[in-house]
Amino acid sequence: MVRALLQTKDLTKRFGGVVAADAIMLDITADEVHAVIGPNGAGKTTLVGLLSGEIVPHEVSIRFDGADITRLPAHRRSLLGLARSFQITSLFREFTALDNVALAVQAHCGHSFRFWRDACRDDELRNPALATLARVGLSERAGALTS
**Domain extents in the chain:** 6-80, 97-141
Answer yes or no: pTM beyond 0.85: no
Query: Is the per-residue pLDDT at 113 higher than 60?
Result: no
Segment 53-60 shows an average pLDDT of 85
Segment 64-87 shows an average pLDDT of 87
Of 121, 86, 134, 126, which is closest to residue 106 (Cα–Cα)? 126
Of 25, 19, 75, which is closest to residue 52 (Cα–Cα)? 75
Tell me what pLDDT residue 119 has.
Answer: 62
Give domain 6-80's CATH architecture: 3-Layer(aba) Sandwich (3.40)
Segment 51-55 shows an average pLDDT of 90
Sheet holding 18-28, edge to edge: 18-28, 6-15, 59-64, 67-68
